Amino acid sequence: YRLLPTLIGMMGAAYPELKRAEALISETLKLEEQRFKVTLERGLKILDEESGRVKNKILPGDVAFKLYDTFGFPLDLTQDALKAQGIAVDTAGFDKCMEEQKKTARAAWAGSGDTATEKVWFEILDEFGPTEFLGYKTESAEAKVIAIVEDGKRVEKLSAMGTGTVITNQTPFYGESGGQVGDEGRGEILGKGKYFTVIHTQKILGKLIGHHILNEEAAIEVGDTLSMNVDHKMRSAIRANHSVTHLMHEALRRVLGAHVAQKGSLQDADRTRFDISHPKAMTPEEIQKVEAMVNQEIGADTPVETRLMGLEEARETGAMALFGEKYDDEVRVVAMGRREGNRVFSIELCGGTHVKKTGEIGAFKIVSESALSSGVRRIEALTGDRVAAFKEEKAQQQAVAHGRVKAENDKLRAEMASLGGAVSKEIPTDTAEMEKENKKLQKEISDLRRQKATQSVDASGDVKDIGGMKFTGKVLAGFPPKDLKPMADDLKKKLGSGVIVLVATDEGKASIVVAVTDDLTGRVSAVDLVKIGAEALGGKGGGGRPDMAQAGGPNPNAANDAVGAIEKALAG
Ligand SMILES: [Zn+2]
């Protein structure tokens, strides 16, 4: 990517687009380079493992293909890397895998495209031209039926209770395109007093607006006049969710940098989804800044201006166009936000439907930010009433989480007190602080309990001499099994030399740890001894090292028998 300025210096005059997109290109190249380095390292590691398994000095073709397909590791790189070790690649096997994958991809593609239906749409477009979209200004209009398509074929009428796509000369319904979902609504067949439902609206071949209709009471015929009414509530929500992407796009560029470019978007009545090129996760501060900037524009409640102009004229206004997108000669320029000197906050080319004033968006909140793919982030956001509802739900979740942490805190504090330990008088109010205290208390309780248990070995004087070795065995009711090993270590130090057996019992299960000091591991093994103990507890196996081993069993009542069995084994 360091070569880029040189390239732009040489070619920039002939291709002004290069200069305009310099930040984005640079960022993309840098990412690709980093990604390639990671790919290379990961691929080499896998290759290293695989070459260890190679027979007859030939790497199987499917392995080379997996490296290529899953890890993006090119075949020639694999060959070069293996040449040094005198290993060849089964290229015929590789080609076969590649061919199979292509076949699968082709089959999937053939299933999705329906060329016969495509032909029908081209015919309709040739015959009648593009559908006139009235929805920028109105949500209701009368329209004449010019074509009906049912099951991929042109028909003269759509029967009552039938479903099909109806094309009219004009329509207030927005056809799904540019990330904004299509409108839904109701209609009436004029003169017949019968109704139908528009369940979805789609842009077809970029020019026709197809109403997917669920017909109800009477046939719709070519030539009929329809009254078409967009679902206002839904349209308003979509409009707000779409409009806010303009403000969000600009705010993201200002907060994150000019390399931010739109990679895709989807706006429906519920939320808006916006994908951007950005190499890393947004920080909470960056998210907050973007939210504040957008909400400021919403609060300013300035009118949204839409103008039709020539593409070159639009470029001169500084309107943001999508890099690599194809535009008609006449474009729709949407300006939104407060005036800043001789321009406004956001100017974009866009064919979507927009609010009249930014205040109609109501409110804006980013609810999630995540990685979509390498170098692309996906942002999901809400507008209007949904922001308040989201905040309320979040507060409720937080209250529940706090309750849970508080209950744990109460329990730990009581436990600490019962062990005679000290707790701070001040109880934290913040959930995160309280969680921290809980962790600290858990550790303190476990240390204190272990200390007490270790001390009790001395006090009761239950260190015996068995076969010339010091031995202590202890059954600890309700003791956490995970603390057995640290306690055994404590006792090893205390005894200096000897064998230690600890059994923690709880309802329905027992855990046993055997520790042997290093000077005695030549005579007895903790692993052998723990197996004897586990058997007494009704368990099997156990594992560890000669100086420390652990096992368990389902019979806590046999804890003393387990200690006894080990003692007996030691006595020989
Ligand atoms: Zn727009």
Under the banding of pLDDT at 50, 70 and 90, the label for residue 542 is confident
Residues forming beta bridges with residue 332, ordered by sequence position: 308
394 C-alpha to center of ligand 1: Å?
30
Q: Distance from the CA of 361 to the center of ligand 1, in angstroms?
A: 13
The partner residues of 411 in beta bridges, in order of sequence, read none
- Boundary residue ending a domain (81, 112, 143): 112
Distance 343 CA to ligand 1 centre (A): 17
Separation between Cα atoms, residue 301 and residue 282, nearest integer Å: 27
Q: How far is the CA of 348 from the centre of ligand 1 (A)?
A: 7
| Confidence (pLDDT) at 110 | 42
Q: How far is the CA of 347 from the centre of ligand 1 (A)?
A: 10
Judge whether residue 45 has pLDDT over 60: yes
Please say if the pLDDT value at position 310 is more than 90. no
Please give the C-alpha separations between residue 416 and each of 148, 419, 422, in angstroms, as whole numbers.
77, 5, 7
For the cut 90, the answer to whether the pLDDT of residue 74 exceeds it is no
Task: Assess contact for 220 and 212: CB atoms under 8 A.
Answer: no
| pLDDT score for 28 | 65
Contact between residue 515 and residue 492 where contact means Cβ atoms under 8 Å apart:
yes
| SS3 category, 273 | strand
186 plus 316 within the same structural domain: no
Q: What is the pLDDT of residue 112?
A: 39
Looking at the fold, whether 102 and 140 belong to one and the same domain comes out as no
| pLDDT, position 462 | 76
Report percent pLDDT > 90 for the chain: 54
Angle at 209 between CA 204 and CA 211, to 5 degrees: 110
Examine residue 451 and state whether it is found in any structural domain, yes or no: no
Last residue of a domain, one of 50, 82, 112: 112
* Number of domains the chain is built from: 5
Q: Distance, CA 333 to ligand 1 centroid (Å)?
A: 9
| Mean per-residue pLDDT over the chain, rounded | 87
pLDDT, residue 57, reads: 82
Asked whether residue 136 is domain-assigned, the answer is yes
Going by DSSP bridges, is the β-strand pair 220-221/157-158 parallel, antiparallel, or unpaired? antiparallel
The span from the CA of 60 to the CA of 93, in Å, is: 7
Ligand 1 geometric centre to CA of 206 (Å): 16
Distance from C-alpha of 83 to C-alpha of 97, rounded to nearest angstrom: 22
- Name the residue with tokens 């075949």: 75
Of 291, 191, 308, the closest CA to residue 251 belongs to 291
Do 372 and 408 belong together in one domain? no
Tell how far the Cα of 352 is from the centroid of ligand 1, in angstroms. 4
Is position 457 within any domain?
no
Query: Would you say residue 414 lies in a domain?
Result: yes
Vertex 44 angle, CA 43 and 50, to 5°: 90
Q: Which long-range contacts (CB under 8 A, 24 or more apart) does 310-313 make?
A: none
Q: Are 275 and 314 found together in one domain?
A: yes
- Tens digits of residue pLDDT in 84-105: 788 888 888 888 888 887 776 5
- Do 182 and 295 belong to one domain? no
The three-class DSSP label of residue 21 is coil
Q: Checking DSSP bridges between strand 185-189 and strand 225-230, what pairing results, if any?
A: antiparallel
Q: What is the mean pLDDT of residues 347-355?
A: 90
Residues 183/186/187/188 CA torsion (nearest 10 deg): 180
397 C-alpha vs ligand 1 centroid, how far in Å? 34
Of the candidates 358, 371, 216, the residue with the CA atom closest to the CA atom of residue 280: 371
Among 230, 262, 296, the domain boundary falls at: 230
Across the range 290-295, mean pLDDT stands at 97
Check residue 224 and give its pLDDT.
95
Query: What single letter denotes the amino acid at residue 251?
Result: A
Same domain, yes or no, for 264 and 302?
yes
Residues 204, 291 within the same domain: no
Segment 204-256, tens digit of pLDDT: 988 899 999 998 889 999 999 999 999 999 999 999 999 999 999 999 999 99
Q: How far is the CA of 291 from the centre of ligand 1 (A)?
A: 19
Please indicate, yes or no, whether residues 355 and 441 belong to a single structural domain of this protein.
no
What is the Å distance from ligand 1's center to 241 Cα?
A: 10
Question: pLDDT value at position 14?
Answer: 67
CA distances from 150 to 172, 226, 445, 491 (A): 22, 18, 73, 84
Q: What are phi and psi of 412, to 5 degrees?
A: -65, -40
User: Which residue range forms the structural domain that includes residue 34?
Assistant: 4-112
Among 37-51, 290-304, 336-350, which range has the highest average pLDDT?
A: 290-304
Q: What is the pLDDT of residue 109?
A: 44
Shared domain check, 400 and 277 = no
Of the candidate ranges 370-379, 458-467, 483-492, the one whose mean pLDDT is the lowest: 458-467
Among 137, 128, 140, which residue's Cα sits nearest to residue 208?
A: 128
Surface-to-core class of residue 342, CB atoms within 10 Å of its CB (0-12 exposed, 13-18 middle, 19+ buried):
exposed
* Contacts (Cβ under 8 Å, ≥6 apart) of 555: 510, 537, 538, 539
Instruction: Please report whether residue 454 resides in a domain.
Output: no
Cα of 350 vs centre of ligand 1, distance in Å, is 5
Classify residue 455: in a domain, yes or no. no
Centre of ligand 1 to C-alpha 309, Å, is: 15
CATH code for the domain in which residue 553 is found: 3.10.310.40
Residue 8 pLDDT > 80, yes or no? Answer: no
One domain, residues 241 and 368: yes
**pLDDT reported for residue 15:** 67
Whichever domain contains 303, its CATH number is 3.30.980.10
**Residue 142 sits in the same domain as residue 97:** no
Q: Are residues 437 and 567 in the same domain?
A: no
Contact 501, 474 (CB under 8 A): yes
Question: pLDDT per residue over 119-155, tens digit each?
Answer: 889 999 999 999 999 999 999 999 999 999 998 889 9
CA 319–ligand 1 middle distance (angstroms): 12
CA 378–ligand 1 middle distance (angstroms)? 18
